[in-house]
Structure 1
């Protein structure tokens, strides 16, 4: 028996639900189908709850959207003469929801039970309506409320899975079931008192895994809006590609570090039963997707399987001479964080024992600092330990691969590629399993860092250069023409991919964010309404913060020549045929070379007996 889970984007509206119908109709054997709430509904419910709890009236605006979206699905798939029962169900639940939110609004208080109950309405509504859709589209389906099968118990301040009770209930139901398809809501469960509980945000994946484990499913298929897990976030790295195969532990590492395709707890019950997981795209079901099982493999020499990241991280550093050689210091630190319910993302400690650095969610940073400072108040008062220092606006990046431990030089490649692009690493951690190398960097460098690492580990060894070109007269226009005409040659023979991002002449400029179509650069520039501005041109290059950025000066302008220092200071190379800077006072020339060496930013100037064209070799 298969277990199929469809996420919120897969059931978000009538169009996406049509794809789900086709997928389920093509199943050749029995299947359990778990569905999430319609995409965005759970977030809306939480916003409504927050509004009611704050004593505001805005929560009332959400009812219309909830009703409209669910009614659209009913009207699309359920024959008009058969709609009354399911519409009555929808109306009754919306009335119940309104009554509960009104009570919360009146008291301006919400309990954990309220949070669970309110957030459960998304799955309750979607699953019952989709069951009606199945029945009127020739799918032999029976509905089962997951709260009857998945049980939780209160432990350590939260609801956790009662595995034994859940397995007994699930196996008993499926042993007696005669229908080909069983439809269940994800995310929701119940406790020993029959009260609604939840499995946490993203819990529909977990629901599916619990059921798959209990019935020893042949496969767990997770259908979402992407074609598997990717080597990096596709919105950050244009060259990111789906990963064909991952081990359970590789998937766990990637999902922990921000790859949102799969909810991390999903893997635990699956690993115990060795059930393969298949990540598929409901909008492109023909795509192969990603298989996750217990057999890691290296394909095409790719030892690293993926790069993932967590945004909005804060670094907290505790240091002081009073920590050296004192036993129990780390224990006290983590006890304080545990008591404050702070989740630690990453830990690193110098061998000198002079400091401990941890990474936490930015939203938890000040609570963590307060807990630490209170725990070590005595040591701080006698100046044996400094108050905890907090640095926000950080990002945690993880390079993941099961077989990294068997290969030398992976860490060196990570650090050298980032260093070459002047990306400073603030903290480093690597577990003994060596499945991941975790680093923390400033968030301003996240796109640059991930693209740099992806280029190093996954892309053919082609160096990508990003050019910001000023001066498009005879010299500049010829340069752009040469780059355009020799694109293929440069890639095949010199392993160079040159992208022109921005261009400027003395009157206008074009500030792009991606590679410009060079065959039409003159038309693009002519049609631009942006006036040329030296400062804005520089700020654009600085803000994009692309790897291997190069400022190309094809002018003979003294004003432009004076700009070189600030480009070099920001790790943007300078390539020029402008003789002024190199022929200026010796101190100015030496200063440019000094900055170039300090930041690893190339400063290259070269002329020939022709028109002083920049030579392509100097760009590499």
Structure 2
């Protein structure tokens, strides 16, 4: 035997009622009884009419007419021609009785709880009467059943207590004598004297639960306007999905902390009988919904958490002082006083020190709760042993629920680290001994962010990641292209959905938390960009994005945004940079930011600042971290200079080779930054610091490639015009080296003094023979040769292309993925 229940939203219009008839007809196992609520919105209208009638307001007459027309229209639409005359008379009779009751209220100007219950009962009595005619119209044998004949209650009007034993017997006797489909009024019962009562909040669910329990039904199906119980509120977490199965215990926890599909007391009768309850969607009957039962059949295959829920509009109150430490009865005094005042406590948290007790109440109860507690502890407050109550407003409680939590360690760690990665502070925590629920308090403004962060971590197999690009120049634009090109590949291979949410130029920026298209951003820049005057403005906009797994990438060649690094890392936003300015600034700044990144467990990655996409920095860091000692490092770290010397070897003039490298994007914006050895020196300084040498940029000895008169020319254009004067000197040196079977290389060297243990660094133009690892370089290759304690006989050599926007962008891309992976691991 099966029992169904339809709520008000499922019977809002005649069209929806006709849909219900279709659902019943199509069902393989039809229900024996269906409990219906009043038509959607009718109960509220009945209460509003009652309020207006008490005040003697003429508006109540219009509301009565609204109720009358709505139900008469429904019976006209849903009744067959054969039944219409009788149906119309029955509906009019009920409506006339209701009108007379309102007249009495208007005359007295007052209403008792008894009269209120009687008036509210008309919503369910009218809807079920009309709906049973809809079934008859479709040739389904159905009868109207007034639950007042079946549900016996006490006279606590408004929230009557059901005599379940007597009611079960009456239900069993009635159903056995009436084989037709019963359309039973929800929400109402009657006293032994026949007075109408209502069953309080969730009353129709309670009626259905009582009837299902009385009949030992196979299942109770509750039809509503959602697909079932969701992993989170889809209005706050758009990616929320249906929970196929859930225990009654889990459903109770979720309901207490805000989930509104089920109300715990109303489902107690079926829970006691072990009857499964299925939540279904009237508007999507093909959806299987959620089954609520005592034990689960698939606990092993379930996610760790079952669902998340939350309560807004909460205040957190704290009682604190030495006067409650170790004093028996303080908790009883606190909560006893609140209980006597009728104030409901939503959450309680107490530290083991017993120095403070905090608890959460609804915001509307906070002021009264504060007064009650202050009165209860007035003596202790006057003597200074207890502080005045502290009230924290605008709080929200989030609860994570799952029967599987008690079997697996680390669930709380995952939840709270997910919050930490999104800079969400937890204000108070509570967990029951059942280990099925962890609840915590956050700022109300962070409720949605917290729900989404935990849901992403615990329920979603694809994780979101977002990126702000500083500097859409050659490397930055190449990065945007690569991210767009490999977006789907990255999603399939790594489970990462990476989107661009910000692009920043020197004085303007474009932000869109939903994502910026690589194809169209340049076209929409003028219309959509914002302008700014300082780093602080951009920093604030980045922080306000609050997008998941946010990474900031600096592809500029200037120091315009260097001041943002520390602020971003402090907020646990990873920073990826191809820019060398911060790493080669003062040693103190470099060490401070490195330490800050480590202490915040937030990546600061700059692999591409040395060797483009080659794994030079990571290799050096790994050697040092695992205890190796680097004695000597020789390197060619300028892909642009490698290209120039490669072209000189082929007979191209120096000025022409420089122009080619510039056109190919291998050189810095000002070629002199490469040709004077400054850019190379910055790279060598980074490696020196990673090795452990406390060097500053002036400590590196540099042999310049060009005469100082060329380097000091006022403009880039003047420099390029004068450059051909270097053709002959370089041609002479190339020919001389070639004659000796050697090649020219611009080489950087870091070397450890065996006596003092100190390091020195230098850059010089060197002629190398075929025995050197540096001899075989071609095109834009970089090379690093490392001699260390472990690599003492044969050096460790890293070689490959070291210049070009695409190559460099690929290295930045790899750092971005590394940062995202670190964020995931931290979760």
TM-score (norm 2): 0.66
Mapped pair 1:170 → 2:368? no
Indicate if the aligned counterparts of 1:252 and 1:267 stay in contact, CA closer than 8 A.
no
Q: Which has the larger Rg?
A: 2
What is the match of residue 423 of structure 1? 424
Q: Deviations over 1:270-301 (max 9, x none)?
A: 12111111122222222222222222232535
What is the match of residue 444 of structure 1? 445
What is the match of residue 292 of structure 2? 292
Give the whole-Å Cα distance in 2 for the aligned partners of 1:87 and 1:455. 54
Equivalent runs, 1:124-523 vs 2, <5 Å: 124-153=125-154, 159-179=160-180, 181-296=181-296, 297-460=298-461, 462-469=462-469, 472=472, 474-501=474-501, 509=510, 511-512=512-513, 514-515=514-515, 518=517, 520-522=519-521
Q: Deviations over 1:571-600 (max 9, x none)?
A: 544445566766778888788777766766
Indicate if the aligned counterparts of 2:113 and 2:157 stay in contact, CA closer than 8 A.
no
Give the whole-Å Cα distance in 1 for the aligned partners of 2:577 and 2:105. 66
- The alpha carbon displacement at 1:552 in A equals 4.5
Give the whole-Å Cα distance in 2 for the aligned partners of 1:119 and 1:556. 73
Give the whole-Å Cα distance in 1 for the aligned partners of 2:522 and 2:164. 66
Give the whole-Å Cα distance in 1 for the aligned partners of 2:44 and 2:55. 17
Seen in structure 2, the aligned counterparts of structure 1 residues 149 and 403 have a Cα distance that, compared at 3 Å, is: same
- The alpha carbon displacement at 1:29 in A equals 4.4
- The alpha carbon displacement at 1:267 in A equals 2.9
- The alpha carbon displacement at 1:541 in A equals 5.5
Give the whole-Å Cα distance in 2 for the aligned partners of 1:246 and 1:543. 37
Give the whole-Å Cα distance in 1 for the aligned partners of 2:283 and 2:337. 46
Q: Deviations over 1:131-186 (max 9, x none)?
A: 2222212221111122332233357995333322322332232222231x101122
Seen in structure 2, the aligned counterparts of structure 1 residues 299 and 52 have a Cα distance that, compared at 3 Å, is: farther
- The alpha carbon displacement at 1:312 in A equals 2.1
Secondary structure class of the residue paired with 2:161: strand
Indicate if the aligned counterparts of 1:280 and 1:288 stay in contact, CA closer than 8 A.
yes
Match of 1:615 among 800, 813, 824: 813
Seen in structure 2, the aligned counterparts of structure 1 residues 44 and 616 have a Cα distance that, compared at 3 Å, is: farther
What is the match of residue 525 of structure 1? 524
Give the whole-Å Cα distance in 2 for the aligned partners of 1:325 and 1:440. 26
Moved more, 209-218 or 155-164: 155-164
Q: Deviations over 1:219-244 (max 9, x none)?
A: 10111222221222222223322122
What is the match of residue 40 of structure 2? 39
Give the whole-Å Cα distance in 2 for the aligned partners of 1:34 and 1:464. 44
Moved more, 50-59 or 334-343: 50-59
Moved more, 234-243 or 588-597: 588-597
Equivalent runs, 1:535-614 vs 2, <5 Å: 542=543, 545-552=546-553, 572-577=573-578, 602-604=603-605, 607=609, 608=612, 609-611=803-805, 613=809, 614=812
Indicate if the aligned counterparts of 2:575 and 2:603 stay in contact, CA closer than 8 A.
yes
Moved more, 370-379 or 277-286: 370-379
Seen in structure 2, the aligned counterparts of structure 1 residues 585 and 154 have a Cα distance that, compared at 3 Å, is: farther
- The alpha carbon displacement at 1:213 in A equals 0.6
What is the match of residue 9 of structure 2? 9
- The alpha carbon displacement at 1:211 in A equals 0.8
Mapped pair 1:122 → 2:320? no
Give the whole-Å Cα distance in 1 for the aligned partners of 2:471 and 2:537. 15
Give the whole-Å Cα distance in 2 for the aligned partners of 1:473 and 1:104. 77
Seen in structure 2, the aligned counterparts of structure 1 residues 216 and 81 have a Cα distance that, compared at 3 Å, is: closer
- The alpha carbon displacement at 1:422 in A equals 2.4
Moved more, 253-262 or 271-280: 253-262
TM-score (norm 1): 0.86
Secondary structure class of the residue paired with 1:393: strand
What is the match of residue 24 of structure 1? 24
Q: Structure 1 stretches of 5 or more lacking a match?
A: none
Q: Structure 2 stretches of 5 or more lacking a match?
A: 613-802, 821-827
Indicate if the aligned counterparts of 1:420 and 1:600 stay in contact, CA closer than 8 A.
no
Give the whole-Å Cα distance in 1 for the aligned partners of 2:24 and 2:218. 16
Give the whole-Å Cα distance in 1 for the aligned partners of 2:260 and 2:570. 36
Seen in structure 2, the aligned counterparts of structure 1 residues 545 and 150 have a Cα distance that, compared at 3 Å, is: farther
